[in-house]
Structure formats: C-alpha cells, structure tokens
C-alpha cells in the first residue's frame, strides 16, 4: 500500500464483499482479502479495480500460512465472514476459529484489536463461543445469535456477503461475535 494506514484482513473472503465494502466506507484504512481459491477473489479484485479502490488487496494463500505474509502485531482487525463451518468432527482443527488458528491471529494482531465472526451456522457459532469463553486471554467479548435484531448490527455496517443474503432469505438468523486478545 505504500502507507502506514491500519490493516484489516478478511479471512476466507470469498468474493471479497466485506473487503471491498469496508474499503469504500473507510478509505483511510487498508483492506486485504485472503482466500485459497483464485476464482473466488476474482470478483472482489475486479470490483476493486473498477471502483479504483487503492486501499484493497487480495492474497491467495491457505490461511494457515498467513504468518508468512504479515509480521507479528501488523494487523489491526480480522473479519471471518461466513467461513466453511467444517461440521464433521474430524475437521474441527480446520475450523478458522479452532485454537491453532486463534493462536495465529493473536500473534498477528496489534494488542487491543478485534477478531469478528459472522456466520449463519449455529454449530460453528456455538463452537467458537465455547472456545473463546474457555480462554483466559480474551476480553471485550460480544455476541448475538440474531445480528439484525441486536445492538451489534451497526458494527457490521450492513455489508452482506452472497451467503449472508442467501441464508437470511431462507430464514436463517445471522450470528455474530467479536472479541479482543
């Protein structure tokens, strides 16, 4: 970016709706969408170019490798928006809110920075909430199992991903939580 503006990272960004949506709202910040599949981020990167968003970038990498791209304490905020819930027991360690991922986020975030999760999946939400509440290094935890009817709605800026729109239209409630290490 060639500036020292704060960096927000959207993990499992898919089409980059949050990355580009936040970049439009906050031109004084930098936003990086991370996903493993290039065809997913193509849409967001195309939109960023079309809208001349100079504060947006995309990174194609497995999230387990993001420490190769960011220094300790470099990230100001992390968004995890509608990740694969990995519902099978054998995939728990692959959930983006499992302990091994949380430890990575803790190292990369500046002290006092938020991690934010939005999901329609009740199982992932409850798993994450349980993991966070069991930790001794977490504070400022806020959560709701119905984002649109909660005090936290404003924190999400009414940016909706493709999956959020789809699941909400099917009657699913959107769950949200945020916390700091």
Q: Rounded to the nearest 10 degrees, what angle do helices 122-134 and 99-108 cross at?
A: 60
Whether residue 84 lies in the annotated active site: yes
Q: Which of 76, 84, 120, 137 is catalytic?
A: 84
**Would you please indicate which residues are annotated as catalytic (active-site) residues?**
84
């Amino acid at each position: 970016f060639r500036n020292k503006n704060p960096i927000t990272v959207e993990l499992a960004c898919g089409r980059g709706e949050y990355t580009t949506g936040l970049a439009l709202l906050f031109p004084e910040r930098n936003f990086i969408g991370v996903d493993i599949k290039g065809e997913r981020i193509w849409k967001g990167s195309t939109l960023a170019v079309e809208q001349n968003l100079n504060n947006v970038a995309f990174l194609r990498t497995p999230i387990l490798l993001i420490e190769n791209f960011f220094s300790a304490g470099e990230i100001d905020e992390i968004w995890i928006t509608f990740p694969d819930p990995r519902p099978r027991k054998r995939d728990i360690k692959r959930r983006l809110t499992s302990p091994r991922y949380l430890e990575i986020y803790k190292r990369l975030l500046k002290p006092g920075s938020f991690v934010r999760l939005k999901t329609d999946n009740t199982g992932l939400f409850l798993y994450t909430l349980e993991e966070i509440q069991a930790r001794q290094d977490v504070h400022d935890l806020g959560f709701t199992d119905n984002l649109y009817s909660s005090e936290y709605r404003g924190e999400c800026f009414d940016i909706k991903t493709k999956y959020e729109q789809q699941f909400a239209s099917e009657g699913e409630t959107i769950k949200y939580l945020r916390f700091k290490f």
